[in-house]
A and B are shown apart, each in its own frame.
Chain A
Amino acid sequence: NAGVIQTPRHKVTGKGQEATLWCEPISGHSAVFWYRQTIVQGLEFLTYFRNQAPIDDSGMPKERFSAQMPNQSHSTLKIQSTQPQDSAVYLCASSTGHINTGQLYFGEGSKLTVL
C-alpha cells in the first residue's frame, strides 16, 4: 500500500498564476480531505469528499479555490490567481469514511510558494 500520494511535492508560482495540486487516496478509502498548514495558522481544514461527493467545503476560500474528485482514485485542488498568502503546505488525507472509527492518513503534502 503506497499511502496517500500527492503531486507535485513542491510548486513555485508567480502571483496571479494558477496552481493545481493532485491527490491519490489510499485504495479503498472513500473519504478524501484537504488541509492547509502554515506556521501562523497551523492546520486548517479546507474541504472533504465522501464517495466522490463534496460533503463540506466550509474551509475553502470561496473566490479562488476549488476542489474536485472526478473519480475514486484522485482529487484535485485548484487555486486561481495565486497570492503570496496562499503559500502553504497543502495536505491531502484519506480515510475509510467511517465517521467514528475512520483514521485519517495523510500524504507528504504539496508545498506551494507564491512569489
Chain B
Amino acid sequence: DAGVTQSPTHLIKTRGQHVTLRCSPISGHKSVSWYQQVLGQGPQFIFQYYEKEERGRGNFPDRFSARQFPNYSSELNVNALLLGDSALYLCASSPVVEQFFGPGTRLTVL
C-alpha cells in the first residue's frame, strides 16, 4: 500500500512569494495534519483537517492556510514568505489516532 505522498520534494522561493504544498493521505484515512520542522527541532503542529473541515490549528500566523479536498488530499499555502519559513513541511494522515508521516517538502526561502 502506498504511504503518504507529498509534492514537491524540494522547493526554493524568495521572500514575499507564495507557496503551495500538496499531500495525498494513505487510502482510507480521512484526517490530514500539517507540521513544520525546522532543522534540529521537533515538528510543530500547523493544521489538522478531518472530513474537509478544519479540526485544529497551531500557533502559526494567518499567512499559513490549508484546505482538504473531497478525495481527502490537502494543500498547505503560505503567503508572503519569510526567511524563517525555511523548513521541512510534513504531512501526516490518520485513520483515527495514529499519525503516519510523509517524506516532507523541503522549502528554502532566499
Are chains A and B native binding partners rather than an unrelated pairing?
no
Q: Which residues of B contact A (CB under 8 A)?
A: none
Q: Which residues of A contact B (CB under 8 A)?
A: none
